[in-house]
């Protein structure tokens, strides 16, 4: 899900584990502020993120303890590297460089 209000890509711990990310080992523990309040998190760097034809390398992300967000959020660490355009209700992303 595209979330321009999210600072970085965000996922929950279960999603990270399913992707093979050992976030407790490689991440830096901290806290983030969400709509539900302050929660425990782990800052990580993703080797690559691929959305459709767009592939970005070395993208910062955060893994949030608990079951939220239920859908991985594409925050600004991803979105600042793409151009977004909307036409007839369809959002198109294109890599900037």
What CATH number corresponds to the domain at position 35?
2.40.70.10
Q: Which domain holds residue 83?
A: 9-95
Is 2 domain-assigned? no
Closest by CA to 72, choosing from 81, 63, 80, is 63
pTM of the model: 0.90
pLDDT, tens digit (0-9, with 9 covering 90-100), for 32-58 = 988 778 999 999 999 999 999 999 999
* pLDDT tens by residue, 53-84: 999 999 999 999 888 899 999 999 999 999 99
Q: Is residue 4 part of a domain?
A: no
Total domain count, the chain:
1
15 falls within a domain: yes
68 found inside a domain: yes
pLDDT of residue 70: 94
Whether the bond into 69 is cis, omega within 30 of 0: yes
């Amino acid at each position: 899900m595209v979330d321009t209000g999210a600072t970085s890509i965000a996922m929950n711990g279960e999603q990270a584990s399913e992707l093979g990310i050992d976030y407790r080992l490689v991440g830096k523990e901290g806290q983030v502020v969400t709509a539900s309040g302050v929660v425990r998190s782990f800052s990580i760097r993703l080797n690559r993120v691929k959305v459709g034809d767009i592939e970005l390398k070395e993208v910062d992300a955060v893994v949030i303890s608990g079951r939220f967000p239920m859908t991985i959020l594409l925050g600004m660490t991803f979105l600042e590297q793409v151009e977004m355009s909307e036409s007839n209700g369809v959002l198109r992303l294109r890599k900037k460089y």
